[in-house]
Amino acid sequence: MNKYLDISPEVQAALAAGKPVVALESTIISHGMPYPKNVQTALKVEQTIRENGAVPATIAVIGGRLKAGLSADEIEYLGKAGRKVAKASRRDLPALVARKADGATTVTTTMMIAHMAGIRIFATGGIGGVHRGAETTMDISADLEELAQTPVMVVCAGAKSILDLGLTLEYLETKGVPVIGYGTEELPAFYTRKSGFGVDYRVDSPEELAAMFRAQRDMNYKGGMLVTNPIPEEYAMDKTVIDAAIEQALKEASEQGVHGKETTPFLLARVVELTGGESLESNIQLVLNNARLAARTAALL
């Protein structure tokens, strides 16, 4: 057992009994949405996982402890603290632990801590990827490297549409990460159901997803599996509207010198503002949709 890791009693009991557990990230709480919508959404996602037969394990760093399974009070704390809490990627964990600091976990660190705890499935909104212009900036999310080396299934609504989706898929292919489309042969683009880019395999049931991931684990693959689950049709946004908002947000980020790990929170917040809040509701619904699929798949494992 990692001496810096705390697994909540409920999650510990579920793992010991072989019950399904689904990991959840905490960056969406502190950096992804405003308070109190962030806390309400986090609790609703946990409830959705329970309703679909699994135990939720929201993951964060609190007081230098790696936490797998948060209490409602801890979720409230992260929601109220917002961006005062560090956005914690792989490079940040040693410093946060040593300094007994707090950190909201990204896809990368949620995968890491889930794997330490023995949790095999993780539901999120969208993964990070290769940013537009990365051929000159080298701005590539650590999420892609983590998918290449940590054996956790990540259920998402595709890569965030602020990214270069074609290059993101090329990077995942190079790293040997299978990209699975749930009910689709096309990569979903977070707010929209289609991107124009194909996935590696289409799967139409949680049973098939579970079988595919079980086979990967049985062969001792080093990396993870990316499941892309399109946003429900009724919550998908008009592609021209979202593309225009993203282009405007990218232009403002460039003008204001926003870069590094501040880029994604800035862009997502501006897109929410530019779409009059429509993108926030879409974000919430796609996370709930991913939680349902992850829980059903975890139950079959």
* 136 and 110 housed in the same domain: no
* 67 and 166 housed in the same domain: no
Domain housing 266? 124-301
Residues with active-site annotation: 25, 160
Sign of the alpha-carbon dihedral angle for 239, 242, 245, 247: negative
Parallel/antiparallel/unpaired status of strands 21-24 and 55-62? parallel
| Domain closes at, from 119, 147, 170 | 119
* 10 and 95 housed in the same domain: yes
* 226 and 201 housed in the same domain: yes
Yes or no: say if 11 and 117 are a contact pair by the CB < 8 Å rule. yes
Please report, to the nearest 10 degrees, the dihedral formed by the alpha carbons of residues 89, 94, 100, 101 taken in order.
-20
Yes or no: say if 126 and 164 are a contact pair by the CB < 8 Å rule. no
* 2 and 32 housed in the same domain: yes
Tell whether omega for the bond before 36 is within 30 degrees of 0, i.e. cis.
Answer: yes
* 182 and 69 housed in the same domain: no
pLDDT averaged per 10 residues in sequence order, the chain, 301 residues: 92 98 97 92 98 98 98 98 95 97 98 98 95 84 96 94 90 97 96 93 98 96 96 92 85 85 78 81 94 98 90
Would you mind telling me the total number of residues written for the chain in this entry?
Answer: 301
Per-residue tokens: 265: 């929170």
Cβ neighbours of residue 292 under 8 Å, at least 6 residues apart?
A: 48, 52
Yes or no: say if 187 and 228 are a contact pair by the CB < 8 Å rule. yes
pLDDT at 122: 98
Rounded to two decimals, what is the model's pTM? 0.93
| Domain closes at, from 119, 154, 171 | 119
Indicate the number of domains in the chain: 2
Residue 300: CATH number of its domain: 3.40.1790.10
Cβ neighbours of residue 189 under 8 Å, at least 6 residues apart?
A: 158, 159, 161, 165, 195
